[in-house]
Amino acid sequence: MASVRNLKKDINYVLGDIIEAVYLYEMTTTGKPTAASDAVIDEAITSFDALISRVNQRNVDDKKSHFRQINKDLEAAANQLVEKINAL
């Protein structure tokens, strides 16, 4: 991983793109939000908040492994959210 700044950007871009995909789905199918699509958006926002708070932790013993784990968790959360979008 290159830097904390790049990790924060990755989190923002990935989860932002997922939210954008949900909005695109809403506009192309129903034209308005549904309960399922709102739940996916809420989960993406919750994941964003949790990941950013973990990135901003200061009292970490092994920073390298900590940030690698955050990166893996981001990938897992993104994959899970994409599966939920596909199931809509």
Q: What is the pLDDT of residue 33?
A: 85
pLDDT, average across residues 20-26: 94
Q: Where are the domains of the chain?
A: 4-87
% of residues, the chain, pLDDT over 90: 80
Q: Residue 85 to residues 3, 17, 19, 22, 52: CA-CA distances in angstroms? A: 30, 12, 10, 7, 22
**pLDDT tens digit sequence for 32-55:** 888 999 999 999 999 999 999 999
Q: CB of 44 within 8 A of CB of 15?
A: yes
30, HSE (Cβ side, Cα atoms, 13 Å): 10
Asked whether the predicted pLDDT for residue 31 surpasses 90, the reply is no
Q: CB of 14 within 8 A of CB of 78?
A: yes
